[in-house]
Structure 1
Amino acid sequence: MIKSLSQFISGEKNLLGISMRDKRFSAEIFYALIITYTIVILGFGLIYFILSFEGVLLVEGGELRQVSPLGSMVHSFYFSGVTMLTIGYGDITPIGIGRLLALIEALIGYILPTAFVFHIVQHKGERARD
């Protein structure tokens, strides 16, 4: 498995004993995706945190809990990351406008990888035409 992964990243192919290079992995696009995800998670986490002072809260375990500002920040970033990268675990639930924000964030979480794949395919198609 490790050998296959390293061959994928390096673009190495071995067909009938003939070594070929076909790079499918783009470190630049991978890092751009990681940075984009991080920025979106931190941005939405800050939005949840700021809204927690306005009464839009994240409910933990089905009950409203009062937490310190630091605890609220940790919950906000955790909820943002879980919502962005999955559809959520259900341990923390948004209330009010937070539901709409969580829905938008989850939608962005689904669209981002697709956009990057389309970019790779489009770039590869342009290179093939040249």
Structure 2
Amino acid sequence: MIPYLLLIFSLLVITFSLRQIFISLEMEQKIFSFHLFLSVILLYTIITVGFGIVYSMLATAGLEIFHDPAETKPLLWWEELSRSMYFSGVTLFTVGYGDLLPLGFGRWIALFEAMIGYALPAALVMKVWSANKQNS
């Protein structure tokens, strides 16, 4: 029961974090600010951790989300969480080292996460540009 509650909580946090960047991140006559920088870092951290928890909870529930050819023994929960966070970060930033391969339903989750990671910088640039244009 707890893994599913954490899964739902993580998805809600990801959703509200993405919403935050489009609604309440306001500029004060600046194109770039320390506040904006910290907000972006926090947003990426929340998304990485949130998807990491999603991957970890699904893997803990018995679904094969990704394949690690180097792993031969079952992992402890914190090792699974650590591996899931790494996979999430590599996927979000579309690095794709190839050491972990998404499988089954994990492919769709990874695709969605990569899409967020790919589109988010463009959305942030458009938000800054729009705010700067309105203040001019």
TM-score (norm 1): 0.74
The corresponding residue for 1:58 is 66
2:42 is the alignment partner of 1:31: no
Paired residue type of 2:110: A
Q: RMSD across aligned C-alpha pairs, in angstroms? A: 2.0
Q: How many residues align?
A: 107
Inter-partner Cα distance in structure 1 for 2:108 and 2:95: 13
Identical-residue share of aligned pairs (%): 38
The corresponding residue for 2:100 is 92
* Matching of residues 86-125 of structure 1 within 5 Å: 86-125=94-133
Preserved CA contact (<8 Å) 1:57 1:98: yes
Q: Structure 1 residues 80, 105: CA separation in 2 closer, same or farther (over 3 Å shift)? A: same
Residue segments in structure 2 that go unaligned for 5+ positions in a row: 1-28
Paired residue type of 2:126: F
* Structure whose residues are more often strand by fraction: 1
Preserved CA contact (<8 Å) 1:46 1:76: yes
Q: How far 1:65 sits from its partner (Å)?
A: 4.9
TM-score (norm 2): 0.71
Preserved CA contact (<8 Å) 2:65 2:105: no
Paired residue type of 1:29: L
**Partner SS, residue 90 of structure 1:** coil
Inter-partner Cα distance in structure 1 for 2:56 and 2:43: 20
Inter-partner Cα distance in structure 2 for 1:77 and 1:91: 14
**Partner SS, residue 87 of structure 1:** coil
Q: How far 1:95 sits from its partner (Å)?
A: 1.4
Q: Which structure: larger Rg?
A: 1
Inter-partner Cα distance in structure 2 for 1:58 and 1:65: 15
